Amino acid sequence: MEAVHGHTNDHSHDDHAHKPSGIMRWVQSTNHKDIGTMYLWFSFTMFLVGGVMALIIRSELFQPGLQIVKPEFFNSMTTYHGLIMVFGAIMPAFVGFANWLIPMQIGAPDMAFPRMNNLSFWLLPPAALLLIAAQFMPGGGAGVGWTLYAPLSTQAGPAMDLTIFAVHILGMSSIMGSINIITTILNMRAPGMTMMKMPMFCWTWLITAYLLVAVMPVLAGAVTMTLTDRHFGTHFFNAAGGGDPVLYQHIFWFFGHPEVYIIAIPAFGVISQVIPAFSRKPLFGYASMVYATASIAILSFMVWAHHMYTAGMPVEAQLYFMYATVLIAVPTGVKVFNWVATMWKGSLTFETPMLFALGFLFLFTLGGFTGLVLSIVPVDVQLHDTYYVVAHFHYVMVAGALFSAFAGIYFWLPKWTGRMYNETLGKWHFWLSLVFFNVTFFVQHFLGLAGMPRRIPDYALQFAEFNAISSIGAFGFGLSQLLFLYIVIKTITSGEKAADRQWEGADSLEWTHLPSPAPWHSFETPPVVK
């Protein structure tokens, strides 16, 4: 980000005069690239914190019986592992991508509201500190599960209040970030950049941002009700006062199901950039991709109760939610077939970003299939709250969202830093991640089918072998990510110089119109798109 090349499109020759140095550059930054970088580093830090929590969970589950941690602490670990990975790692990672890429891809000089952008980022560290501080409250962290279900959450200790405030702050950050993204995409496109010419990544983020503005306030409402039930004498979820704990589940999943797509859709966007670049073909079925993404987003509001088949529901409602959920497989299938058709007869090469994209394609589809299995009511009644569910959502979140984030980082690292990563090490990172991911999570399908319940620190003896395998895989997967950290640092410090258009198949504006590394200010004069 330091160098400013004398490129024809860069008309800001006085960059350095405006750039404060040292820590204040970052604290006060209103530059979309700096903020994007901060989002990505924050997200990686949280990924390590949440990862350590996952390893604590897997250590305890390595053998049956209670060996390492107390059950209360175990519950707290499952809770905060989920919250930190969803709200601290995956979501900020994709907001980081959005910040870096959207202005460059649509030919805008920066985000629409640079100061609000700064605020969106700087709300995250205090929220993360609240989540970590919750561990040290009297009674320990709130072991209520990441879904924060009442009535457990209305009875939990003071850690719960910190968690609620953290969720409030994270929600505000997401809403402001989304308003910024929507405004940037709708109002600040370069001349000639029509909506249907935008790179797929921008489309997916536009739809995700709308989802975020629609559902984050609903989550804020749900945790606010929990807070007032705890301290201010309301009875939203208290049966004795005329409320209903199941109400919490309905409100939570009205947020929670769209949230699943908030995580998945930007991942689809990254994959839709990477696969065409390494197939040297344009994305197959661009328009159908846009409509499929929008359909997924709309359908996501209509299926929330499939998370609560066992909470007590009339059979008619179960049938409706089952059919509506199965319907989501149609637009998702359109996307998967389009990606495959993009590769059809393409000149494929398999650099690290493409490997991660293919890993995504294969494993995300597998996770989608187990989701389809779980959507069927009579099956779900058996599998609800077992390790089958844990395996399912780790296939879509880790092999889905996280692999796509890795694909995106390897893909754009040359553009961001102006340097190339080490291809051999990148491939090692991919294969280690792929193998250990499956060692960790594939066996959890079997555990779930055999009836092992999730969120319990101990288990019956017949589950011992698969749990031991899963724990070994988890440590392998966790350690492989240190290799990723090494690769990124090595790239920044001493990677080979990257070309302006490092991937000749990539055709969005940041590759075709900007040098590598992208200058601190880009597109102050908008490019003209044919």
Partner 1 sequence: MKSERANRRMMTRLSIFAVAMFGFGFALVPFYEKICEVTGINNLIKPAAAVVNTQVDKSRWVTLEFDANAHGLEWEFRPVQRSVRVHPGEMIQIEYDVRNNGAKAVVGQAIPSYGPKHAAPFVKKLECFCFKQQPLQAGESKRMPVQFVLDGALPADVNTITLSYTFFEVKGASTAPAKGGVQG
Does the protein bind partner 1 through residue 23 (CB under 8 A)? no
Listed in sequence order, the DSSP H helices in 344-422 are: 352-375, 377-383, 387-396, 403-417
Told to judge if 307 belongs to the known catalytic residues of this protein, a careful annotator would answer yes
Please provide the size of the chain in residues.
Answer: 530
CA distance 231 to 432: 48
Per CB under 8 A, contacts with partner 1 among 228-257 are 233, 236, 238-242, 244, 247, 250-251, 254
> Which tokens hold the place of 340?
């495959």
Answer for which of 68, 132, 213, 294 binds partner 1 (CB under 8 A) is 213
The DSSP code sequence of 141-206 is S--STTTT-TTHHHHS-THHHHHHHHHHHHHHHHHHHHHHHHHHHHH-PPTT--GGGS-HHHHHHH
Of residues 456, 448, 451, 310, the one with CA closest to residue 392: 448
Catalytic residue among 32, 168, 281, 306: 306
Please check whether residue 502 is in contact with residue 415, taking contact to mean a CB–CB distance below 8 angstroms.
yes
189 an active-site residue? no
378 is a site residue for partner 1 (CB under 8 A)? no
Residue 179 in tokens: 């308003």
Residue 179 binds to partner 1 (criterion: CB under 8 A)? yes
Site of tokens 């990677």? 495
Is 173 an active-site residue? yes
Please name every residue paired with 419 in a beta bridge, in sequence order, or none if there are none: 497
Contact 316, 265 (CB under 8 A): no
Residues from 65 through 124 that contact partner 1 (CB under 8 A): 108, 112-113
- Binding flags for partner 1, 303-332, as an x/- string (CB under 8 A): ---------x-x------------------
| CB distance 409 to 41 below 8 Å | no
CB of 240 to partner 1, least distance (A): 3
Phi, psi of 80 (to 5 degrees): -80, -25
Site string for partner 1, 439-458 (x = CB under 8 A): --------------------
Is residue 395 among the annotated active site residues? no
Is 262 a residue that touches partner 1 (CB under 8 A)? no
Spatial distance between the Cα atoms of 123 and 170, rounded to a whole number of angstroms? 7
Q: Which residues contact 152 (CB under 8 A, 6 or more apart)?
A: 144, 145
> Is 81 known to be catalytic?
yes
* Among the listed residues 140, 221, 476, 478, the single contact to partner 1 using CB under 8 A: 221
- Residue 412 sits in the site that holds partner 1 (CB under 8 A): no
Nearer to partner 1, 189 or 335 (CB): 189
The least CB distance from residue 179 to partner 1, in Å, is 4
40 binding partner 1? (CB under 8 A) = no
Q: Which is nearer to partner 1, 307 or 445 (CB)?
A: 307
Please report where in the chains the tokens 């860069």 appear, as a residue.
Answer: 10
**Minimum separation from the CB atom of position 99 to partner 1 (A):** 16
| Active centre residues (catalytic) | 81, 110, 146, 173-174, 257, 259, 261, 272, 306-307, 332, 335, 454
Q: Which residues bind partner 1 (CB under 8 A)?
A: 108, 112-113, 175, 178-179, 182-183, 186-188, 190, 213-222, 225, 233, 236, 238-242, 244, 247, 250-251, 254, 312, 314, 526
